[in-house]
Amino acid sequence: MTAPALAEGGFLGIGGDVYRAAQSVTYDTGDADDLFLAGETVRATAAATGTAHVAGRWITLEGDIGGDLYAAGMTVKIEAPVVGDATVTGYEVTLGEIGGDLRASGSKLSLDGPVGGYALLAGETLTLGAPIAGDAHVMAREVEFGRDAQVDGRLVLYEAEPGTLDVPETVAPADRIERRTLPEWEGELGAIRPPSLGEIIARYLMGIVIVAGIAALVAALAPKTLAEIRAQLLVHPARSLWFGFLAQSLLIGAMVVLAISVVGLLLSPAMAVVAGLTGLAGYILGAYAFGVGLLQAVGRPLPAQWSERAIAGALGAAVACLLALIPFVGWLFVLALTLAGVGAAVLHLLRPRFFA
């Protein structure tokens, strides 16, 4: 297997893609397919044939982007053409030519290049100085239309008081202008409503089924391992809880340190995923062991068949979910159950010598 190549200047190249994270990042080689850049100051003067993902405080892109663009920063300047769609957010955003659809938000927005698709623009002030081939949805307190501004599709304006923004006839005729109130903009995003009783019950049952199913799968594939982890948790719950706390703290701490170092910023999402999956595994193991403990408390023998282990997992998950409804104490119990499951797995896998 070929190892990833570390190109000159500190770029990490994998399969034609380029990764770079530092306090100050400059991309000028022009050999990237997909481009991943993160730093305080980010500048790209060369082209990328694929998609660009850029995050920083001050961002300047002067090279063509052959695919889509995703950029987030305080000051974002897109001076070169983007062939695909662009999704950009920042405080002050300046945009050039966009071949596809445009989604942009910021306090100060300026569109200086044409847009080949639709445009979704939200900001405090907007300067529209180029044509938009599709529809344009605009939410802004102030809008300035340049000489070349034109919307070929519908122009939908979201205003506090419809009719306050003046639109020249050269931008869009009156029959293609639609004015809406600001609450309608929020409605476009979908109303947030609390789940119904039926949805709550369905999610509760689905959670039980998932835990029981995974417990049954693990029991079928690795019955001895599952039994040893369960025994570890039930015999030494405090030790399991302590090691689970240490393990999760290590993963979450590593994620924070990588993000602070900037150099490892791109690895932080991966660490977050690992920490989340570890917590999920810990909850499933903890719920299974909890279910076995409840069955033993009423005089039932240890589960020997995979179906019995599935029942134990379902029982543990059902009771744990009910206990979680207790204010304050409930979520602490679920947290402790999850950490204990993580710790039992860590003790089984690592087997610290000082506990032998």
| Per-residue confidence (pLDDT) for residue 263, from 0 to 100 | 61
Q: How far apart are CA 13 and CA 123, in angstroms?
A: 36
pLDDT above 60: residue 191: no
Q: What is the 3-state secondary structure (H, E, C) of 75-105?
A: EEEECCCECCCEEEECCEEEECCECCCEEEE
pLDDT bucket at 184, cuts 50 / 70 / 90: low
Percentage helix, strand, coil, to 5, in the chain? Answer: 40, 30, 30
Residues of the chain with pLDDT > 70, as a percent, come to: 90
The pLDDT, as a whole number, for residue 9 is 42
What lies within 8 Å, CB to CB, of 35 at 6+ separation is 17, 18, 27, 44, 48, 50, 51, 52, 53, 54, 65
User: Region 26-42: what's the mean pLDDT?
Assistant: 88
**Does the pLDDT value for residue 15 go beyond 80?**
no
> 72 pLDDT band (50/70/90 cuts)?
very high
Model confidence at 183, in pLDDT bands (50, 70, 90)? low
Question: How many of the other CB atoms lie within 10 Å of CB of 275?
Answer: 19
Residue 355: what pLDDT? 47
- pLDDT 10s digits, 80-101: 999 999 999 999 999 999 999 9
CA distance 49 to 27: 13
SS3 state of residue 215: helix
**Average pLDDT of the segment spanning 291-310:** 84
**pLDDT at 320 (0 to 100):** 86
User: Residue 8: is its pLDDT beyond 50?
Assistant: no
pTM of the predicted model, to two decimals?
Answer: 0.55
* 140-149, 188-197, 281-290: range with lowest mean pLDDT: 188-197
What pLDDT is recorded for position 264?
65
> For the segment 305-328, what is each residue's pLDDT rounded down to a tens digit?
777 888 888 888 888 888 888 888
Of 30-39, 187-196, 332-341, give the lowest mean pLDDT range: 187-196
Mean pLDDT of the chain: 85
